[in-house]
Amino acid sequence: MKRAVFLDRDGVVNKAAPKGEYILSRRELQFVSGIESLVKYFRSSGFLVIVVTNQQCIGKGLITKEKVEAINFFLAIEVGINKVYYCPHLADDECECRKPKAGMLFLAEHIDNIDLKTSWMIGDSATDIEAGQKAGCKTVLLIDGERNKEEMQECSPDFLVSSLDQIKFIIK
């Protein structure tokens, strides 16, 4: 079985869109400083690097699945991500794949032969942390100033960091 590092997309790999808005084209992607070197570090340490992302913009009809897949493909190539799983459903759909449920992580476990107990979930929201915990992963919450400071009150990650550089000291 393989070890994986699961990354949330918007807020960890690329800068999150303003609240209530969505990334709808690859030109809107702005990679978080240090993400390329962090992904390279994980891969050289024997981890698969997998993005798991809620994309309810599809369910809202703002973008097609094909366009989200093209954005995710571009992101994976540019940053060196092994795979991207996404949930296209609305929050009210109560699907099994939408974080905070762990469906995308369980799917990766099955398809990619992942050992979730030796894997990590890195996110910038309580829903990311909860999904990782439900899957049995260790968790890291990335706090980005005031943008998501309230997330510290809503979850209990294994580790709390304020920059991607700090993660290399935690995950080996």
Report whether 124 contacts 9 (CB < 8 A). no
The answer to whether 112 is a known catalytic residue is no
Q: From the CB of residue 58, how many other CB atoms can be counted at a distance below 10 Å? A: 21
Provide the pLDDT for residue 14: 96
Residue 50 CA to residue 123 CA, distance in Å, equals 12
DSSP code string of 6-42: EE-TBTTTBPPPSTT----SGGG--BPTTHHHHHHHH
- Catalytic residue from among 10, 112, 128, 165: 10
Question: Exposed, middle or buried: residue 107 (CB in 10 Å: 0-12, 13-18, 19+)?
Answer: middle
Residues 68-86, buried b or exposed e (16+ Cβ, 10 A)? beebbeebbebbbbbbbbb
Domain ranges of the chain: 3-169
- Catalytic residue from among 8, 112, 128, 144: 8
Domain 3-169: give its CATH superfamily: HAD superfamily/HAD-like (3.40.50.1000)
The answer to whether 158 is a known catalytic residue is no
Provide the pLDDT for residue 19: 85
CA dist list (Å): 121 to 18, 31, 48, 118:
23, 18, 12, 10
Provide the pLDDT for residue 153: 76
Per-run averaged pLDDT (10 residues), the chain, 172 residues: 97 93 96 96 98 97 98 97 98 96 98 98 96 98 76 86 93 90
Residue 63 CA to residue 141 CA, distance in Å, equals 28
Report whether 54 contacts 86 (CB < 8 A). yes
Q: What angle do CA 91, 95, 100 make, to 5 degrees?
A: 65
Provide the pLDDT for residue 172: 85
Provide the pLDDT for residue 148: 67
